Amino acid sequence: MSEYLPALESAISDVGCWTWWTANLPATFQVEFGGVQLWNPPRGEGQPPSSQVALRFRKPRLVYFLTLAEGVPADWPEQLQLDKLEPPGVGHSAFTLTSDVLCKQLIAGAVAVRALVGEQGVTLLPKEGEALLGFQAGPFGLIVAAESVGVFNHHGELDPPSVVAAIRKWWDYWREYWQRKDTLDPLPRDYACEVTIPCGPD
């Protein structure tokens, strides 16, 4: 589906943040985001829809943690994984699931590259047909190339048509959220909606 990956790029990078990562190598590497503009069922009564989405990369061939600024602790990947860092916001113009050019630019601009999988400067990206991820989040960055990628919410994996449908449903929900915000019947407060502010009348 041609619109699938660009739509997912936008849904994650508009107001999203990098919340966590985990690895079960050599089988999988997973990265999780919050504030994603993709409708998921609420996790409890009276709560907004869950904005958490995970990208699970299968058989990763390359995983690089990028340090993109001076003065950043060398163990920041562990701190992020242990919830000891405030989740950094994803750079809207520096997030891709499709562009090896952007990935190479991020690597070239890094102060330090830590290879969890592969060898920096030796393991090239991407190979034909591989899943790809590259992004900057504050002073941090991540590059992944793998055999395939799956999109997961708390209920399981979403196929490409379901991802696109969930993104469209989120925007319908966003419009309803703002229509009801200053009424006697507002929807539960939602961070992703609050920071995705309408520019004018609907």
| Tens digit of each residue's pLDDT, the chain (202 residues) | 468 999 999 999 999 999 999 999 999 999 999 999 999 988 888 889 999 999 999 999 999 999 999 999 999 999 999 999 999 999 889 999 999 999 999 999 999 999 999 987 777 777 788 999 999 999 999 999 999 999 999 889 999 999 999 999 999 999 999 999 989 999 999 989 999 877 644 4
Q: Please report, for residues 23, 99, 121, 155, 169, the alpha-carbon distance to residue 126 in angstroms, rounded to integers and kept in the order given.
A: 20, 9, 13, 30, 32
Contact 131, 45 (CB under 8 A): no
82 phi and psi angles, rounded to 5 deg: -90, 10
How far is the C-alpha of 118 from the C-alpha of 60, rounded, in Å?
9
- Which pLDDT does position 2 carry in this prediction? 60
Neighbours of 109 (CB within 10 A): 12
pTM over 0.95: no
Q: Look at strands 90-96 and 17-24 and give their pairing.
A: unpaired
- Which pLDDT does position 156 carry in this prediction? 93
> Domain boundaries in the chain?
4-153
Could you tell me the maximum CA-CA distance found in the chain, to the nearest angstrom?
A: 60
Residue 21, Cα to own-chain centre: how many angstroms? 11
- Which pLDDT does position 201 carry in this prediction? 43
